[in-house]
Structure 1
Amino acid sequence: MSMRAPRGTADILPNEVKRWQYVESILKDICDRFNYDEIRTPLFEHTEVFQRGVGDSTDIVQKEMYTFEDRGGRSLTLRPEGTATVVRAFVENKLYGSPIQPVKLFYFMQLFRYERPQQGRMRQLNQFGVEVLGSADPSVDAEVIALAMTCYKELGLSSLKLVLNSLGDKESRQNHRKALVEHFSPYKDELCSDCQKRLNQNPLRILDCKTDRDHPAMKTAPSILDYLNEYSEQYFNQVKAYLDMMEIPYVLDQNLVRGLDYYNHTAFEIMSEAEGFGAITTLAGGGRYNGLTEELGGPNTPGIGFAMGLERLLMAIDAENIKLPIDSSVDCFFIAVGETAEKQASELVHKLRVNGIQVDKDYQGRKMKAQFKAADRLKAKYVIILGDNELEDDIVNVKNMKTGDQTEVPLTDLVKTMQAELLGGSQNE
């Protein structure tokens, strides 16, 4: 029996967690400014949610899902992506009936995909994403893209590329599908086994194949942009016009199709161009998915969203040598010398904590010198010292570790004094 973490998973240790918490706080703040509300959904769903929502022809459904049967004989799946589970919740809880429309949501999710682990791509992965349900306005497409770009920009990333495409409406896709089948059919035997199946199931996904991407037929494949009907072309032009007004640069890629079946109209990816980032450059991807709510039993409700991998976001931050402003210090370290002082320290430490002061203390019975070393390791801003002499005089000594200044403070004034030093004022004691 192995006592190691399963392949494709990783422990996130305390020092690294601080980076995650900082990044997540920035993303949450941005969502608040864009007026998006957080949603939290179950870790697993009925398998049909993903079969119908993601698509039977996708690699996720065919190869990557962690599916199991529960004791009641029901087929359940650990969620491999976020959009289908959010849309399921939207339908089940009748959020389409909310007086506030569209419904604008964001989420942080742990997802599970059985794929070959590599740098920035794990079997248990963490995603941040947003979904907007209830509007077919192209300005919403631009807003969602702008939100994603804002997340990266406010975390300091600059080596970014936004790639844009349109997959068109149903009519446009059907016409393009016929053209793709005609184009790739003569080369069917030269394509990988997956693409041979895709030729009949969903030929658009051949363009997304990593195995056949260098096949000559890929370079001459018909472009979806040549098959957009008037409505789809006008819609795409409006999305681009909004991005231009926001001064968000982008490049067009007619082969950008995304890996899920539910996309239509706007599709986009954000990539890192940082030197040394790696072969897989995609940081985030998303697009419009009108029709998905109907597939999951709801009313006709247009939607658009994106998801970004948090592991890959942190990789991009490292690739651009960005130092996140994380304060790893503690406010105070309490040093108690003597049995009586130790008992009094527990009371004072608790009182400081419930009044908003971050405090730690020694729990190993170390001598004063060793406790000062512990305070240094924790980068304590202040050290509070309580011994027999201080107890007799009802005071503590407070040392500013930056200046070295030490002050006697009455025990009754300790909370108020530390609030003034650390919080800029008093709170309720």
Structure 2
Amino acid sequence: MRNPLSKVITEIEPSGIRKFFDIVSEMKDAISLGVGEPDFDTPWNIRDEGIYSLERGRTFYTSNAGLKELKIEITKFLKRRYGLSYDYAHETLVTVGGSEAIDIALRAMLDPEDEVLIPQPSYVSYLPCTRLAGGVPVVIELKEENEFRLTRQELLGAITPKTKILILPFPNNPTGAIMEKKDLEDIADIILEHDLFVLTDEIYSELTYLDRHISIASLPGMRERTVYINGFSKSHAMTGWRLGYACGPEVIIREMLKIHQFAIMCAPTASQYAAVEAMKNGDESVAGMREEYNGRRRYLLHRFKEMGLKCFEPYGAFYVFPCIKEFGMTSEEFATKLLEEEKVAVVPGTAFGACGEGFLRISYAYSLENLKLAVGRLERFVEKLRAEQKL
């Protein structure tokens, strides 16, 4: 019998994030700090609009590219929050989460052997989606001493004649790193000089704790070569609604829409009506959630400092990325032992790329009560390891 499977797909490893969650689900009294999902319910005004759309019988397909009203509100939101200007009719596409937008953007832009620069540690989908689109992923290893920001030297060192796309995953999952305006300006001239395109995943743009987020698409010359990706999952606590969007040059969005038409048809209708309300009247709820996350972020950093666990200060998303190299264990070994002995689940840094070795991703999208309990167990575990090292 012939092999029914594609060689490309069989060579792609499953996500390294899920392993520990599967174990936790079967473990009594375990605490998970691994899921990258808001612990808040979707705000009531947004839920009400979704419910109302169902009560009105709005259960049919929308336009392939999304509801006109939603696309208009998305462009208003981007202008209001980040100074970005897009034509709702030709430069905006509503997708099934930001993940679909990443997938179809790469498929629309890549020819076989085109190279895609992927800064890591970063979200697990970039590399496999590049391979599935026929491209060649080229990893740029970000460094703790640079607060996991992408530097111009790192970018220059990775570019070849085959390089076509740079993925910018900031604010970053898993590190919480951000790129400030000066950081973006430092790499923008290189992007222009080498005629690269940018896929900027800004799904955590509303969750920044230093200054207001800056998009690279707002810099001179960058809008024309950037596909901007965002969504509602993280900012508006709408993970299960499965809704994202992409904005960019019409020539790219048009081809992305073609793939979307054949593979998806359209994003969920009730979700789109709910998202209209999120764009119109969601800023206050988002600000409240952001403030709560920031309090949890500060608490974790304070506790890490107390227990002597090294961790740079992240200013975005809802993750911290502490270093555990002092214990002489791999990230996988540390996470496994922590789960077995203290019933606390975290994600090994290597789930987000080989350069994540020696780090853990800890999510603070959990109540402060759970964080305190989990950190107490982590501290006990760390103290035990240090005591063992002295023997």
- TM-score calculated relative to the size of structure 1: 0.22
More strand by share: 1
More helix by share: 2
